[in-house]
Amino acid sequence: MPHRSEYDAILIGSGFGGSVSALRLVDKGYRVLVLEKGRRFELDDFPETNWDVKRWMWNPALGMRGFFQMSFFDHVTVLHGVGVGGGSLTYANTLPMPSEGFYQSSSWSHLADWERELAPHYATARRMLGATPYRETTESDRIVREIATDIGREEHFDKPHVGVFFGEPDVRVPDPYFGGEGPDRVGCTHCGACMTGCRVGAKNTLDRNYLYLAEKRGAEVRAETEVTAVRPRSGYDGEGGYSVETRSTKPGDRTRTTVTADKVIFAGGVMGTIPLLLRMKEDPHGLPRLSDRLGKSVRTNNESLIGVICPDEDRDFSEGVAITSILHTDEHSHLEPVRYGGGSGFFRTMCLPYSPGANIPARLFGTARGFARHPILWSQALSVHDFARRTVCLLYMQTLDSTLELRLGRSWLNGFRRDLVSALDPSQEAPKAFMDEAGDLAQRFADKVGGVPMTLLTEALLGVPSTAHILGGACMGESAAEGVIDARHRVHGYDGLFVIDGSAVSANPGVNPSLTITALAERAMAMLE
């Protein structure tokens, strides 16, 4: 008789896919273990500003054990989250619905009637995440509304739904969401610090809803535990369950363990799931039968991130929540003003003037020309005292598709170690660092506030786009020849393996994807016996 597994299901990662799956599996009676390589954070563990990089950023080799990570590739810079609660700890807590084009994308529309099937799960996700419209009007909202009027799109200016508790500011009340079963909550103070970790307790992070309830009902969560391998316990297709090998990420702790389960759900996001699966595909004792589509069709939301610095001391862009309005410029594109809380000026060290160009000399020339034309304005902007209060980040996104490939290889960006690298598919459109409409909107904003547009140095110098919404790489298909997983998130060729996170998103939603990942996870769990 085969040895019984220690758990019915092991979840690798505690973000939107993992936390949803944990709760729904516990409710089905499963013995559940959640493994998370990052730390567990209490409110006081979050940094007061992002200058406290040891508490904000995740880079253990440099002594940084925070919840925000930047990963640099030849063709994209990825901003993502680490910790118990995954990306919810650092995301901008906005929860939009995608447009109709998302459901009808040729990349996956043949697999299901996605709009119909996902509708009830979006409703559940919005309820669980506490989605509510933002009703205040901030300084940046007023400017964006003016731009909407200027371009004839005023009726397309709107307020987003966000996952924030808007009770009385700074007042603690019993759980308002789950009939008292959830944790106490504190009303939002509109401090703008959502993305550096909510120290108030108003942000609806996963450790306050899905994951909180899962633990309360019996799920086990092991923080600071990184999965290094997943192997079938017998045979080759996982019928006998899986062994999951881990190592501790605690400083000075070299503990390694192996745990077993009948089912394993990969839920570490693109930056966790894809490199782990790629390593297992290469391992003859791992998961060598994984689809050759692994790592392909990696998408972004076609973002452009352009900051505008305003030297006017009377303006304060830091008040509000992370995102407080949205302007749809056409059926494919929209703009959102994004903020950090006062004092969080770390990105000052990583920004250069916005200067689109086809190559480095052209961009450097544009930068120099900008300084020469407005030397006083630039000197004032670059020397502002509180960078976050004087800066707004304009996030421009599109539903139009573009893809990359992630694979194991060597690059100067990873010190020529064999690690995750990016590659282009000549037959596909690649994400771009510069988009004309995004630049025009940023300049309009800058002109209205007497400011200047800036961008990350990786874009300004290298022409490499940035994304906070990396998706795909383990996309759906009818067979292993078409995708890594099927429409029920089951890995082709391996019984009991699933991918339920951003890497399973098989089309570009064109909006912040957290709500969509949550809805997909709800659907996957509803279909699991």
Which of 80, 121, 334, 469 is flagged as catalytic?
469
Q: What is the pLDDT of residue 84?
A: 98
The helix/strand/coil state of 351 is strand
* pLDDT for res 238: 67
Q: How far apart are the first and last CA of the chain?
A: 24
Distance CA 472, CA 354 (A): 29
pLDDT at 415: 78
Phi, psi of 485, deg, nearest 5: -130, 165
Let me know: does 38 contact 223? Beta carbons within 8 Å: yes
Backbone angles phi, psi at 94, to 5 degrees: -105, 140
Instruction: Please answer whether residues 139 and 174 qualify as being in contact, where contact means their C-beta atoms are separated by less than 8 angstroms.
Output: no
Query: Which residues of the chain fall short of a pLDDT of 50?
Result: 1-2
* pLDDT given for residue 323 in this prediction: 98
d(CA 248, CA 304): 36
Identity of residue 91: Y
Contact 506, 298 (CB under 8 A): no
Environment class of 479 (CB within 10 Å of its CB; exposed 0-12, middle 13-18, buried 19+):
exposed
Q: To 5 degrees, how large is the angle CA 297–CA 516–CA 58?
A: 75
In Å, what is the CA distance from 357 to each residue of 337, 459, 515?
24, 10, 35
Whether 197 and 56 have beta carbons less than 8 Å apart is answered as yes
Instruction: Give the global pTM.
Output: 0.96
* Confidence at residue 368, expressed as pLDDT on a 0 to 100 scale: 87
Question: In this predicted structure, what is the pLDDT of residue 55?
Answer: 97
469 as an active site residue: the answer is: yes
Task: Write out the two tokens for 74.
Answer: 């030849």
Give me the CATH topology for the region 1-41+83-93+96-129+203-301+469-529: FAD/NAD(P)-binding domain (3.50.50)
What is the predicted pLDDT for the residue at 4? Answer: 67
Q: What is the pLDDT of residue 3?
A: 54
- 498 has which bridge partners? 265, 490
Contacting residues for 1 by C-beta, under 8 A, at least 6 apart: none
3-state secondary structure of 231: strand
Positions of CATH 3.50.50.60 in the chain: 1-41+83-93+96-129+203-301+469-529
